Amino acid sequence: MVIVLANWVDARLIQLGPIITDGGTLIFPLTFLLSDIITEVYGYKLARRAIWCGFLFNALAVFYGLIISSLPSPAFAQYNDIFDKMLTINVRIITASTVSYIISEPLNSFILAKLKIKTAGKFMWLRFICSTFLAAGADSFIFGTLAFYGSMSTMNLLGLIFSMWGIKVFIEIVGLPLSLPLSKKLKTLEQIDIYDDATKFNVFSLDADYQTQANHFK
């Protein structure tokens, strides 16, 4: 749902003091936060499946919007052309968001899963921040370039990309008091703590099965 909402407001640029960003940046970081929790508790395979579900739901929303905009408009409707124009603009935005999403979200989960193994499950807060820092950087650069290149100066585009990146990392850090306890609580309730030691990180696979030894819950 977050990716759907973000895409429909991404075309709207906003200014918060000296910071200029797009509307989707304020809500999109929740996808990283959710991916962190799912990967940390249930493993990369389940996070990958959730990512593909988000991709599917977004595709359905876009497809429905395109159908609606292609249907005949009654003569008395004053604002349908504005809606259709905004949807046309949003096609580029949504395409950019889809490409960046399908790259950055698996990257986020991949980095987190690998760091969990490297740190033997310690420093969860650091894993959450590091994975989001790198994945959000990739997401901001890809999305910003594909969505807004040519519509603003290079300096403004770079400023927008770094603003989006900073906001995403900031929201991840601010969300730690929620994401860390929630992850620990889920592990206790589910009695599960998956390590992706034997996982094949093929983003196109929908395999979600784990061997018993992958669960390190104590």
What is the mean pLDDT of the segment spanning 191-200?
95
| Cβ atoms 104, 20 nearer than 8 A | no
The predicted structure's pLDDT at residue 53: 92
**Model confidence over 139-181: pLDDT tens digits?**
999 999 998 888 788 898 999 899 999 999 999 999 999 999 9
| Distance from C-alpha of 43 to C-alpha of 194, rounded to nearest angstrom | 5
Q: Identify the pLDDT of residue 133.
A: 96
149 lies in some domain: yes
pLDDT computed for residue 102 by the predictor? 92
What distances in angstroms separate CA 216 from CA 40, 42, 117, one per listed residue?
12, 11, 11
Residue 5 lies in a domain: no
Look at residue 87 and tell me whether its pLDDT is greater than 80.
Answer: no
218 in any annotated domain: no
In a domain, 172, yes or no: yes
Number of domains observed in the structure of the chain: 1
At 33 the pLDDT is 93
Residue 195 gets the label, from left (phi > 0), alpha (psi -120 to 50) or beta, of beta
Q: Which residues pair with 16 in a beta bridge?
A: 19
In angstroms, the Cα distances linking 127 to 133, 160, 188 are: 10, 26, 20
175 within some domain: yes
Q: Which domain holds residue 73?
A: 41-204
Helix (H, G, I), strand (E, B) or coil at 30: helix
Instruction: Provide the pLDDT for residue 63.
Output: 86
Which pLDDT tens digit goes with each residue over 110-146? 999 999 999 999 999 999 999 999 999 999 999 999 9
